[in-house]
Amino acid sequence: MKKIASLLAALTLGIGIQCAAFAQSIAPDALVKSVTDDVITIVRQDKAIQSGDTRKAVDLVETKVLPYFDFAHMTRLAVGKDWRQANAEQKTVLTHEFKNLLVRTYSNALTQYRNQHIDFKPLKAKPEDTDVVVRTEVRQPGAKPVQIDYNLEKQGDNWKVYDVMVAGVSLVTNYRDSFGQEVRNGGIDGLIKSLKDKNKQLETTVSAKK
């Protein structure tokens, strides 16, 4: 009798844990939609961001968007085959600098947001898929709609974005040619230096604007 009770208890506990895990994992398309809606709602109300306050836009991206991105994966994709040459420390620095570059650039793009409408396309994926594309379309009057696709990968229970395609162009692999060129010219350290210089230059233009 005791045995049955403890078995039952274990079973209940097991189901409980499974339910919790189930509730935690949000579907990838729902995730993209909720993050996008969150950010757009804030940008719509924030006059400072609309008038070009990049610092505020960066803060917004860092708190609302960054947790859902896998920058290590993105950097690995951007660097391509030269990634193998980099040691652990260089990989960390590269990831850090590339993240800064992407965040600065695209936070700035956020300040250009003007009432565009975003359509979310139905997700075409099987439940067991661990690598999916969430398709969206940005519509604005008088211009062609721009397709923005997010590539997500399942890590444990969470989905993380590892690539963003704008009009069919990967914002990540688009760097591969110039990164390869930098590595050929000055090795991995040369690439790191160029990224640092670029970020410093963006930093100064941001503060000059303020």
The residues binding other proteins (CB under 8 A) are: 72-73, 76-77, 80-81, 83-84, 101-102, 104-106, 108-109, 112, 133, 141-144, 147, 155-157, 165, 167-171, 173-179, 181-182, 184, 194-195, 198, 202
Cβ proximity to other proteins: between 6 and 130 the closer is 130
Contact 196, 182 (CB under 8 A): no
Cβ proximity to other proteins: between 2 and 81 the closer is 81
Q: How far is the CB of 158 from other proteins (least distance, A)?
A: 9
User: What is residue 132's DSSP assignment?
Assistant: E
HEC string for 138-191: EECCCCCCEEEEEEEEEECCEEEEEEEEECCEECCHHHHHHHHHHHHHHHHHHH
Cβ proximity to other proteins: between 23 and 143 the closer is 143
Q: How far is the CB of 153 from other proteins (least distance, A)?
A: 10
Q: What distance in Å separates the CA atoms of residue 88 and residue 85, rounded to the nearest whole number?
A: 10
Q: How far is the CB of 3 from other proteins (least distance, A)?
A: 29
Q: How far is the CB of 79 from other proteins (least distance, A)?
A: 8
Cβ proximity to other proteins: between 72 and 118 the closer is 72
Contact 8, 102 (CB under 8 A): no
Q: How far is the CB of 22 from other proteins (least distance, A)?
A: 13
Q: How far is the CB of 47 from other proteins (least distance, A)?
A: 18
Q: What distance in Å separates the CA atoms of residue 49 and residue 55, rounded to the nearest whole number?
A: 8
Cβ proximity to other proteins: between 127 and 141 the closer is 141
Q: How many angstroms separate the Cα of 91 from the Cα of each of 10, 66, 74, 177?
A: 44, 19, 12, 18
Contact 107, 61 (CB under 8 A): yes
Cβ proximity to other proteins: between 33 and 80 the closer is 80
